[in-house]
Amino acid sequence: MYSIDQQVSLWFYALRSDAGVSVFKFVTFFGSSRAVVLLAVLFCLYLVWRKQKVLIKYFVWGLVANEIIVFTLKYLMNRPRQLLAVVLETDPSFPSGHAAFAVFFFGFLIWYATKFVQNSAWRGVVRIISMLFIILIPISRLYLGEHYLTDVFASIIIASTVLYITVKWWEKASRQAQF
């Protein structure tokens, strides 16, 4: 496992440029803890405005569950960070919190847009932008040398699982509420 991690890390390191670092630092911000709080609050305010407060419970539950799982695994695994990182972070490497947030949050937005956004143009915009962040934030973590490939893959699996459970929980509750 470490062999593929090292090979991918060296490949991204060889591709690194000043312009690329600037672009991916911007992209990676959208998976940072500051962005998590800001985007989550804005989305919850949007749900209140749209009179869909019931969704807030499911969204926040999934977001918090995702963060707890990632945080717990980070300190259980205690995997050291790469030495090739652009910004040396102090918390353990495995799994990537940025990637996990991107997959859960932007995945939730895709589900929400598909289910609730009536305007097809807006639905498409939300889905495309969200998909770009789901792809680019994990890549940014690799490009900047902040994580190994397995850190990012684990995060994608964790967040996808939490997202699936969150959506299924909402679907089951909304079916029961109809009766």
**Per-residue pLDDT tens over the stretch 89-104:** 888 899 999 999 999 9
CA distance linking residue 112 with residue 30, whole number of Å: 19
Cβ-contact 52, 168 below 8 angstroms: no
Structure confidence by residue, pLDDT tens digits, 114-157: 999 999 999 999 999 999 999 999 999 999 999 999 999 999 99
Asked if pLDDT for residue 159 goes beyond 70, the answer is: yes
pLDDT confidence bin for 179, thresholds 50/70/90: low
The per-residue pLDDT of the chain, averaged, comes to 92
pLDDT of residue 178 exceeding 70, the answer is no
Provide the pLDDT confidence category of residue 1 given band limits of 50, 70 and 90: low
Average pLDDT over residues 45-65: 94
pLDDT tens by residue, 65-89:
999 999 999 999 999 888 888 888 8
Q: What is the pTM of this model?
A: 0.91
Q: Is the pLDDT of residue 22 over 60?
A: yes
